[in-house]
Amino acid sequence: MAEKRAKPTVRMSPEECWEMLETSVNGTLTTLRANGQPISLPVWYVVLDQKIYMVTRGKKVVRVRNDQRCSFLVESGERWAELRAVHVECVGRVIEPSKELAQRIAQALDEKYAPYRTARDVMPKQTRDYYQKNLNATIELIPVGKMLNWDNSKLF
């Protein structure tokens, strides 16, 4: 009797999914407008204890406060054979983190994004003023349900 070969799959293991979530630079947060229309925006973020954190401002914060349903996506690759992604359904919350958690988030964000930040002294004054005036909020995304994922390179 012939040996059954495993069917090729593009699926990543949970460990591979978390590794991709932890190491990707840009994420895409999808929240819902008041009329139910989804809107997706790029964000910088960190993963701690299998939760996703971002320190941000503006309408994203308002939308998460109004409706906790959201999703988060990281992706990479340009050619079909390189395409990889992890999509996570989440419950989003605007939180006041404990002092310890706030420090962990700030340190992780600093370590991850230091090479990508624009120095404040080279920003236009209007941009500096905007960031100084607008307070930040911390959004915590708690994954719920199944992670959708694929890694086309697994087929080669």
* Domain boundaries, given as residue ranges, for the chain: 14-155
Stretches where the chain sits below pLDDT 70 are: 1-3, 134-135
Number of Cβ within 10 Å of residue 126's Cβ equals 7
Residues 6+ apart with CB under 8 A from 31: 38, 39, 41, 60, 63, 64, 67, 70, 92
Q: What's domain 14-155's superfamily in CATH? A: Electron Transport, Fmn-binding Protein; Chain A (2.30.110.10)
pLDDT single digits (tens) 21-59: 999 999 999 999 999 999 999 999 999 999 999 999 989
- Residue 48 is predicted with a pLDDT of 98
pTM reported for the whole predicted model: 0.89
pLDDT score, position 1: 59
